[in-house]
Structure 1
């Protein structure tokens, strides 16, 4: 089973250079803070069109990052999670290149989806308009397959070709991926974009009954190899609640916008309601390698008539507050302002979304760490990183504002900042204190809340007030109960570059 302690989410190259360097970092300055790590795609090419989510070979480690032995070494003392990119492969993969050359004569041809694969009798305007896609336009790219021009199904980008999970060729491929990962020491498989796999005529081609069947089939294979499965789906919160009943782990994508709303609108009501109904077999995040999800708290065409956790006006106001807090940077990186866009996300570091204020940022992290589930901390968030506008200008890809490539000197400098050291102290408490093995409870009164964990005589509590983002963390120890972290000790002013001398507790 997965340890419920904190996990780091990171690209191997952008934080530590390679997989061996990541292990050194986790065993060195980050020791005791994380019981697991989600290594974002390390397959060749890890630096492709979609930062590794367009694998040419999903069964190999990119030699620039290391070997399977390096992955196994990383897994010796911690849980390792890796991505199974279920929906698509690179248009430059050997299998698809063979289809490009030979068309239907290729033995791999059935593995790849075209318009005709799903609509053999042709698609009506209504059929096409119904297809759910996270980006504008239709999910097709004109390509020549064996000399014949075809509409190839490309949900995300023209570099990522969708596969047809109705075919034995697709399952032979996915089995080889699961075998390679579990053989390499990976014990949690994150199913990327699995919601888009169940494409069926007469549906919106998203989260269909076929999706459930495919997910169950992968879960069965993973369990047979001793691994668990995390499903990644953005959608209405009721869908997450339903999915959670069928799989090992789901993301709590509603938590980040609800925490932002609580801290920036001084309103705990929506977060309180969510804490009472949310699934507890969840992976919690503030930010990830993608943007900050908004669809997860709003209404959705996928469940017409069902209200969201936040109203439309509240969501509009929240997005605007993020834009203002980030000095307009998120506005430049979100929606139609940047290519490769996701309509349902705001592209911004979480630190910038809270105006780089250490006090409110640390409170956001503490809320995440005290909510039941497996807390995952994104590497940029761990280092309280700011929007990388130079990278955005260079690539034109909105999500790149939150995908900074850290130098060793930048990592060292960040680790000396009070807000980063305070996060690490909180993470070590979450990873080691016995209270978190027990029972969770919470109470809300106006702008104040208490989140509490208790296991026999071991207790850890977070008392907070969103009116001024004040907080105190107390935990039992051999000397009784002590204050571990408090807003009074940290101060309320953002540290910017950070002073290594300032205390945090």
Structure 2
């Protein structure tokens, strides 16, 4: 995978188009900006109860978007990342409907997890209390079978997302079928969606247990044998992320987004600098994604201290709500239909009160932090919260999942903050120093991030009190000094 900035996008939402239309946007409006693209679920259907993360057929491209050959065409020019939804599939799938019709006689019965299959002797109150829950309520949903009997199926997220039994031959065959499709279609990087929940074992939390690591390791080896790299998608305590990073190809740096916000809000860089000194180097960095802004990744969990204290997390969340004029409050937690309660739903741009210089500082830190940066389509275009869509759907995460037209992209690309961001993306892609060694210093409110590779160097210095930000580049025996505020001002004329 190229060490270039990548785009994260829904195929149908960035230009209200299909796979061919997305490639055209990448080749024209976004020409030379991205080395790769994370195609958010494009499987059949893209408009289920969880925006494609509940596939009826994971091995089929939604015909409204195109087919696997269209995916391959994008892969000829760009690195492609795609989601392997390892934990569940839709209750509307052919397989689960066959289970409902035929019960234990179904050839797909072993494909799905039931309470009985995990707890054959019954689920005690003690064991139930140990199960880690990403959402309130029971992790089981009762379905009535055609013969009138009932069965309790494991549903980690929603009642329409039936958990897969990855240990069975049927479960393995399902995952292998999708892996083969990816390989044939030039997918380079596989995002293991909700991998931490895939293994359930009595007497444990059923989340990132030892057997989960073994499962991810085995899956990664299969992907590696086909020439693909795996990326584990897990929101958890930062120490868990450090442990996971030692055992997989790549992980997300989900602690970075809240820590950058905290530094900008508090002018205190100590938590951010501490994290950057220990953060995994085999990571993908993000500020925004199709989900919300993760909080659990930087905060305390149970009796484990976080990178931020509980009080600092509360201040951070309240500041986001204030900066967004209460819009994020309408989309977060119990205020809207959310499957998780550990994220704040808001665009990153609105989380910073649409302050252009703060936003560009945040992106600069992301691009200079260790890892391969990804930029979500709304973040690229500095799109505000999609309140009209949120009001229509009452799905909290839709606040950051707008449907855009090509004309919306063209208009956004003329905004000074977007023009400046595009210059930063181009810099990150073309300076060889980012392939070298990373160092960091911090003093009072000042954070300096540096890269050196041979005769090339790149240095970012940010004063979080004054917001004064400087970038110094040495490449091909030439020196370039950029003052971030001056760069923004140039594009504001």
> What TM-score range do you get, normalising by the shorter chain?
over 0.9
Q: Return the offset for 1:241.
A: 0.5
Aligned to 1:470: 468
Aligned to 2:142: 142
Is the counterpart of residue 66 in structure 1 residue 66 in structure 2? yes
Q: Is the 8 A contact 1:236 1:299 kept in 2?
A: yes
Q: Is the 8 A contact 1:334 1:341 kept in 2?
A: no
Aligned to 1:197: 198
Is the counterpart of residue 338 in structure 1 residue 320 in structure 2? no
Report the Cα distance in structure 1 between the residues aligned to 2:77 and 2:115, rounded to whole angstroms.
Answer: 46
Aligned to 1:439: 437
Aligned to 2:378: 380
Report the Cα distance in structure 1 between the residues aligned to 2:487 and 2:193, rounded to whole angstroms.
Answer: 40
Name stretches of at least 5 consecutive residues in structure 1 with no aligned partner.
492-499
Report the Cα distance in structure 2 between the residues aligned to 1:122 and 1:437, rounded to whole angstroms.
Answer: 53
Correspondence list, 1:21-420, <5 A: 21-147=21-147, 148-301=149-302, 305-420=303-418
Aligned to 1:502: 492
Distance 1:219 1:479, change over 3 A: closer
Report the Cα distance in structure 2 between the residues aligned to 1:83 and 1:490, rounded to whole angstroms.
Answer: 35
Report the Cα distance in structure 1 between the residues aligned to 2:483 and 2:420, rounded to whole angstroms.
Answer: 8
Aligned to 2:421: 423
Report the Cα distance in structure 1 between the residues aligned to 2:476 and 2:247, rounded to whole angstroms.
Answer: 41
> How many aligned positions are there?
491
Q: Return the offset for 1:476.
A: 2.4
- 1:368-392 CA distance string (max 9 Å, x none): 0000101010001111111111111
Aligned to 2:7: 8
| SS in structure 2 of the partner of residue 296 of structure 1 | coil
- 1:38-83 CA distance string (max 9 Å, x none): 0000001011110000011111111111111111110112210000
Scaled by the length of structure 2, the TM-score of the pair is 0.97
Q: Is the 8 A contact 1:113 1:153 kept in 2?
A: yes
- 1:137-177 CA distance string (max 9 Å, x none): 11111111343111111111111100111211100110001
Report the Cα distance in structure 2 between the residues aligned to 1:306 and 1:429, rounded to whole angstroms.
Answer: 39
Name stretches of at least 5 consecutive residues in structure 2 with no aligned partner.
none
Stretch deviating more after TM superposition (372-381 or 340-349): 340-349
Q: CA RMSD in A?
A: 1.3
Q: Is the 8 A contact 1:341 1:397 kept in 2?
A: no
Report the Cα distance in structure 2 between the residues aligned to 1:284 and 1:217, rounded to whole angstroms.
Answer: 24
Stretch deviating more after TM superposition (80-89 or 130-139): 130-139
Q: Is the 8 A contact 1:32 1:431 kept in 2?
A: no
Stretch deviating more after TM superposition (109-118 or 470-479): 470-479
Q: Is the 8 A contact 2:157 2:339 kept in 1?
A: no
Q: Return the offset for 1:474.
A: 2.3
Aligned to 1:496: none
Report the Cα distance in structure 2 between the residues aligned to 1:74 and 1:58, rounded to whole angstroms.
Answer: 19
Scaled by the length of structure 1, the TM-score of the pair is 0.95
Stretch deviating more after TM superposition (331-340 or 247-256): 331-340
Aligned to 1:455: 453
Report the Cα distance in structure 2 between the residues aligned to 1:437 and 1:38, rounded to whole angstroms.
Answer: 21
| SS in structure 2 of the partner of residue 315 of structure 1 | helix
Q: Return the offset for 1:477.
A: 4.3
